[in-house]
Amino acid sequence: MRKNGPIALVFHTLVILFVLAPLAIVVLVAFTPDETLTLPTHGFSLRWFRAILDYPDFISAFFNSVKLAFLSATLSLAIALPAALAIGRMHFPGRGMLNGLLLSPLVIPSLVLGIAFLRFFALIGVTGSFVWLTIAHIIIVTPFMMRLLLASVAGLERSVEHAAASLGADPWTTFKRITLPMIIPGITGGWLLAFINSFDELTMSIFVTSPQTVTLPVRMYMYATESIDPMMASVSALVIVITAGAMLLIDRAYGLNRILVGHHG
Protein backbone atom coordinates (compact mmCIF):
# COMPACT_ATOMS: atom_id res chain seq x y z
CA MET A 1 0.00 0.00 0.00
CA ARG A 2 1.41 3.37 -0.97
CA LYS A 3 2.08 5.70 1.95
CA ASN A 4 0.43 9.07 2.20
CA GLY A 5 2.31 11.86 0.46
CA PRO A 6 3.08 15.27 1.98
CA ILE A 7 -0.14 16.83 0.63
CA ALA A 8 -2.27 14.08 2.16
CA LEU A 9 -0.48 14.41 5.50
CA VAL A 10 -1.00 18.18 5.53
CA PHE A 11 -4.66 17.74 4.64
CA HIS A 12 -5.22 15.16 7.39
CA THR A 13 -3.41 17.37 9.89
CA LEU A 14 -5.62 20.33 9.00
CA VAL A 15 -8.77 18.21 9.34
CA ILE A 16 -7.69 17.00 12.79
CA LEU A 17 -6.88 20.55 13.89
CA PHE A 18 -10.24 21.76 12.56
CA VAL A 19 -12.03 19.08 14.60
CA LEU A 20 -10.01 19.58 17.79
CA ALA A 21 -9.82 23.39 17.75
CA PRO A 22 -13.28 23.99 19.30
CA LEU A 23 -12.52 21.53 22.11
CA ALA A 24 -9.18 23.20 22.80
CA ILE A 25 -10.80 26.64 22.89
CA VAL A 26 -13.47 25.44 25.34
CA VAL A 27 -10.80 24.01 27.65
CA LEU A 28 -8.74 27.21 27.50
CA VAL A 29 -11.74 29.43 28.23
CA ALA A 30 -12.62 27.22 31.22
CA PHE A 31 -9.47 28.44 32.99
CA THR A 32 -10.12 32.13 32.51
CA PRO A 33 -10.30 34.35 35.63
CA ASP A 34 -12.57 36.79 33.78
CA GLU A 35 -16.30 37.19 34.29
CA THR A 36 -17.22 36.50 30.66
CA LEU A 37 -16.27 34.11 27.88
CA THR A 38 -13.09 35.72 26.55
CA LEU A 39 -10.06 34.53 24.64
CA PRO A 40 -7.17 35.14 25.08
CA THR A 41 -7.47 35.08 28.85
CA HIS A 42 -5.59 37.21 31.34
CA GLY A 43 -4.00 34.32 33.17
CA PHE A 44 -5.31 31.00 34.43
CA SER A 45 -7.67 30.33 37.29
CA LEU A 46 -9.72 27.45 38.72
CA ARG A 47 -12.50 29.75 39.93
CA TRP A 48 -15.08 28.48 37.45
CA PHE A 49 -14.36 24.86 38.35
CA ARG A 50 -14.86 25.69 42.03
CA ALA A 51 -18.05 27.52 41.06
CA ILE A 52 -19.56 24.23 39.87
CA LEU A 53 -19.61 23.05 43.50
CA ASP A 54 -21.79 26.03 44.35
CA TYR A 55 -24.25 25.06 41.63
CA PRO A 56 -25.46 21.56 42.63
CA ASP A 57 -27.96 21.46 39.76
CA PHE A 58 -25.08 20.66 37.41
CA ILE A 59 -23.92 17.78 39.62
CA SER A 60 -27.38 16.23 39.93
CA ALA A 61 -27.94 16.67 36.18
CA PHE A 62 -24.63 14.91 35.48
CA PHE A 63 -25.65 11.87 37.54
CA ASN A 64 -29.08 11.91 35.89
CA SER A 65 -27.39 11.77 32.48
CA VAL A 66 -25.02 8.97 33.50
CA LYS A 67 -27.86 6.87 34.96
CA LEU A 68 -30.09 7.55 31.97
CA ALA A 69 -27.37 6.77 29.42
CA PHE A 70 -26.35 3.56 31.23
CA LEU A 71 -29.93 2.28 31.44
CA SER A 72 -30.74 3.29 27.86
CA ALA A 73 -27.64 1.65 26.40
CA THR A 74 -28.03 -1.55 28.44
CA LEU A 75 -31.75 -2.01 27.74
CA SER A 76 -31.19 -1.13 24.09
CA LEU A 77 -28.59 -3.90 23.92
CA ALA A 78 -31.09 -6.35 25.40
CA ILE A 79 -33.51 -5.45 22.60
CA ALA A 80 -31.09 -5.09 19.71
CA LEU A 81 -28.94 -8.20 20.25
CA PRO A 82 -31.65 -10.83 19.68
CA ALA A 83 -33.16 -8.68 16.93
CA ALA A 84 -29.81 -8.37 15.14
CA LEU A 85 -29.17 -12.12 15.42
CA ALA A 86 -32.63 -12.87 14.02
CA ILE A 87 -32.45 -10.31 11.20
CA GLY A 88 -28.86 -11.10 10.26
CA ARG A 89 -29.13 -14.90 10.29
CA MET A 90 -32.73 -15.86 9.63
CA HIS A 91 -35.37 -15.32 6.97
CA PHE A 92 -38.91 -14.87 8.26
CA PRO A 93 -42.03 -12.87 7.33
CA GLY A 94 -41.70 -9.26 8.46
CA ARG A 95 -37.90 -9.37 8.65
CA GLY A 96 -37.48 -6.23 6.56
CA MET A 97 -40.27 -4.44 8.41
CA LEU A 98 -38.66 -5.22 11.79
CA ASN A 99 -35.30 -3.98 10.57
CA GLY A 100 -36.83 -0.79 9.21
CA LEU A 101 -38.80 -0.22 12.42
CA LEU A 102 -35.73 -0.48 14.64
CA LEU A 103 -33.67 1.80 12.38
CA SER A 104 -36.45 4.31 11.64
CA PRO A 105 -35.57 6.82 14.43
CA LEU A 106 -32.43 7.63 12.43
CA VAL A 107 -34.48 9.32 9.71
CA ILE A 108 -36.80 11.24 12.05
CA PRO A 109 -35.48 14.63 13.25
CA SER A 110 -34.96 14.86 17.00
CA LEU A 111 -37.23 17.91 17.11
CA VAL A 112 -40.10 15.92 15.62
CA LEU A 113 -39.46 13.03 18.00
CA GLY A 114 -39.41 15.42 20.96
CA ILE A 115 -42.76 16.95 20.06
CA ALA A 116 -44.26 13.52 19.40
CA PHE A 117 -43.02 12.14 22.73
CA LEU A 118 -44.29 15.22 24.56
CA ARG A 119 -47.75 14.85 23.05
CA PHE A 120 -47.86 11.09 23.67
CA PHE A 121 -46.66 11.34 27.27
CA ALA A 122 -49.19 14.10 27.96
CA LEU A 123 -52.00 11.94 26.56
CA ILE A 124 -51.18 8.97 28.80
CA GLY A 125 -50.34 11.16 31.80
CA VAL A 126 -46.67 10.24 32.33
CA THR A 127 -45.02 13.60 31.61
CA GLY A 128 -41.80 13.99 33.61
CA SER A 129 -41.45 10.28 34.42
CA PHE A 130 -37.85 9.00 34.46
CA VAL A 131 -39.03 5.58 33.28
CA TRP A 132 -40.68 7.02 30.18
CA LEU A 133 -37.72 9.32 29.58
CA THR A 134 -35.56 6.19 29.55
CA ILE A 135 -37.92 4.53 27.06
CA ALA A 136 -37.67 7.59 24.81
CA HIS A 137 -33.87 7.40 24.92
CA ILE A 138 -33.93 3.66 24.21
CA ILE A 139 -35.90 4.38 21.05
CA ILE A 140 -33.40 6.95 19.78
CA VAL A 141 -30.21 4.99 20.60
CA THR A 142 -31.35 1.54 19.42
CA PRO A 143 -30.60 2.29 15.72
CA PHE A 144 -26.94 2.97 16.55
CA MET A 145 -26.77 -0.27 18.49
CA MET A 146 -28.46 -2.16 15.66
CA ARG A 147 -26.09 -0.92 12.98
CA LEU A 148 -22.98 -2.16 14.78
CA LEU A 149 -24.55 -5.44 15.84
CA LEU A 150 -25.81 -6.16 12.33
CA ALA A 151 -22.33 -5.51 10.96
CA SER A 152 -20.83 -7.93 13.52
CA VAL A 153 -23.43 -10.60 12.82
CA ALA A 154 -22.96 -10.25 9.06
CA GLY A 155 -19.24 -10.99 9.42
CA LEU A 156 -19.79 -13.98 11.71
CA GLU A 157 -18.11 -17.22 10.65
CA ARG A 158 -20.88 -19.80 10.87
CA SER A 159 -18.62 -22.82 10.29
CA VAL A 160 -17.23 -22.53 13.85
CA GLU A 161 -20.75 -22.70 15.26
CA HIS A 162 -21.55 -25.69 13.06
CA ALA A 163 -18.39 -27.41 14.29
CA ALA A 164 -19.38 -26.81 17.92
CA ALA A 165 -22.86 -28.17 17.27
CA SER A 166 -21.46 -31.25 15.54
CA LEU A 167 -19.35 -31.92 18.63
CA GLY A 168 -22.44 -31.96 20.81
CA ALA A 169 -22.68 -28.40 22.10
CA ASP A 170 -26.21 -27.24 22.80
CA PRO A 171 -27.44 -23.90 21.34
CA TRP A 172 -26.87 -21.96 24.59
CA THR A 173 -23.32 -23.28 24.98
CA THR A 174 -22.58 -22.49 21.34
CA PHE A 175 -23.87 -18.95 21.78
CA LYS A 176 -22.00 -18.37 25.05
CA ARG A 177 -18.68 -19.94 24.05
CA ILE A 178 -18.56 -19.26 20.30
CA THR A 179 -21.01 -16.64 19.02
CA LEU A 180 -20.83 -14.12 21.86
CA PRO A 181 -17.01 -13.77 21.92
CA MET A 182 -17.01 -13.28 18.14
CA ILE A 183 -19.46 -10.37 18.28
CA ILE A 184 -18.08 -8.72 21.46
CA PRO A 185 -16.51 -5.84 19.44
CA GLY A 186 -19.91 -5.01 17.95
CA ILE A 187 -21.61 -5.27 21.34
CA THR A 188 -19.03 -3.09 23.06
CA GLY A 189 -18.95 -0.53 20.26
CA GLY A 190 -22.73 -0.43 20.02
CA TRP A 191 -23.10 0.03 23.78
CA LEU A 192 -20.54 2.84 23.83
CA LEU A 193 -22.16 4.56 20.86
CA ALA A 194 -25.60 4.26 22.45
CA PHE A 195 -24.30 5.57 25.79
CA ILE A 196 -22.65 8.59 24.17
CA ASN A 197 -25.71 9.44 22.09
CA SER A 198 -27.99 9.18 25.11
CA PHE A 199 -25.65 11.22 27.29
CA ASP A 200 -25.35 13.96 24.66
CA GLU A 201 -29.00 14.06 23.59
CA LEU A 202 -30.43 17.56 23.91
CA THR A 203 -33.13 18.37 21.34
CA MET A 204 -35.53 15.57 22.20
CA SER A 205 -34.77 15.65 25.94
CA ILE A 206 -35.79 19.30 26.24
CA PHE A 207 -39.39 18.31 25.52
CA VAL A 208 -39.69 15.33 27.88
CA THR A 209 -37.59 16.16 30.96
CA SER A 210 -38.99 17.52 34.19
CA PRO A 211 -37.28 19.44 37.02
CA GLN A 212 -36.51 16.08 38.67
CA THR A 213 -35.12 14.43 35.53
CA VAL A 214 -33.13 17.24 33.89
CA THR A 215 -30.08 15.86 32.09
CA LEU A 216 -26.70 17.58 31.83
CA PRO A 217 -27.11 18.81 28.22
CA VAL A 218 -30.53 20.27 29.08
CA ARG A 219 -29.16 21.89 32.25
CA MET A 220 -26.28 23.41 30.28
CA TYR A 221 -28.70 24.73 27.66
CA MET A 222 -30.91 26.24 30.35
CA TYR A 223 -27.92 27.85 32.05
CA ALA A 224 -26.61 29.24 28.76
CA THR A 225 -29.92 31.06 28.20
CA GLU A 226 -29.55 32.78 31.57
CA SER A 227 -25.85 33.57 31.82
CA ILE A 228 -22.73 34.01 29.67
CA ASP A 229 -20.13 33.34 32.37
CA PRO A 230 -17.39 30.73 31.78
CA MET A 231 -18.91 28.09 34.08
CA MET A 232 -20.43 26.53 30.98
CA ALA A 233 -16.92 26.11 29.60
CA SER A 234 -15.68 24.56 32.85
CA VAL A 235 -18.50 21.99 32.84
CA SER A 236 -17.78 21.21 29.19
CA ALA A 237 -14.06 20.83 29.93
CA LEU A 238 -14.79 18.32 32.69
CA VAL A 239 -17.02 16.32 30.34
CA ILE A 240 -14.25 16.33 27.72
CA VAL A 241 -11.67 15.13 30.26
CA ILE A 242 -13.96 12.39 31.62
CA THR A 243 -14.77 11.18 28.11
CA ALA A 244 -11.11 11.19 27.05
CA GLY A 245 -10.14 9.32 30.22
CA ALA A 246 -12.82 6.70 29.67
CA MET A 247 -11.74 6.18 26.07
CA LEU A 248 -8.11 5.84 27.19
CA LEU A 249 -9.02 3.21 29.79
CA ILE A 250 -11.07 1.29 27.23
CA ASP A 251 -8.20 1.45 24.75
CA ARG A 252 -5.71 0.15 27.33
CA ALA A 253 -8.03 -2.59 28.56
CA TYR A 254 -9.56 -3.74 25.28
CA GLY A 255 -8.40 -1.70 22.29
CA LEU A 256 -10.46 0.92 20.50
CA ASN A 257 -9.52 -0.55 17.13
CA ARG A 258 -11.24 -3.81 18.08
CA ILE A 259 -14.35 -1.96 19.18
CA LEU A 260 -14.62 0.48 16.29
CA VAL A 261 -13.48 -1.68 13.38
CA GLY A 262 -13.79 -5.17 14.79
CA HIS A 263 -10.07 -5.94 14.52
CA HIS A 264 -9.18 -9.11 16.36
CA GLY A 265 -5.44 -8.98 15.73
* Residue 19 lies inside a defined structural domain of this protein: no
Residue 71 is predicted with a pLDDT of 95
Query: What pLDDT is recorded for position 174?
Result: 80
C-alpha–C-alpha distance, residues 249 and 154, integer Å: 28
Q: What percent of the chain has pLDDT over 70?
A: 91
Give the model's confidence band at 155: pLDDT under 50 very low, under 70 low, under 90 confident, else very high. confident
Read off the pLDDT of residues 6-48 as tens digits, 9 standing for 90 and up: 888 888 889 988 988 888 888 888 888 887 777 766 778 888 8
Within a domain: residue 239?
yes
Q: What is the mean pLDDT of residues 163-168?
A: 78
Q: What value does the mean pLDDT take over residues 181-200?
A: 85
Domain range for 216 is 55-261
Evaluate whether residue 4 is within a structural domain.
no
User: Taking the chain, what is the end-to-end CA distance rounded to the nearest angstrom?
Assistant: 19
Residue 63 located in a structural domain? yes
User: The CATH number of the domain where 139 resides is what?
Assistant: 1.10.3720.10
Establish if 46 belongs to a structural domain: no
**Any domain includes 14:** no
Q: Is residue 2 part of a domain?
A: no
- Give the total number of structural domains in the chain: 1
- Of 96, 104, 62, which is closest to residue 235 (Cα–Cα)? 62
Please indicate, yes or no, if residue 3 is contained in any of the structural domains.
no
pLDDT over 90 (residue 72):
yes
pLDDT tens column, 203-253: 899 998 888 889 998 998 888 888 878 888 888 888 888 878 777 776 765
Torsion over CA: 240, 68, 230, 49 (sign): negative
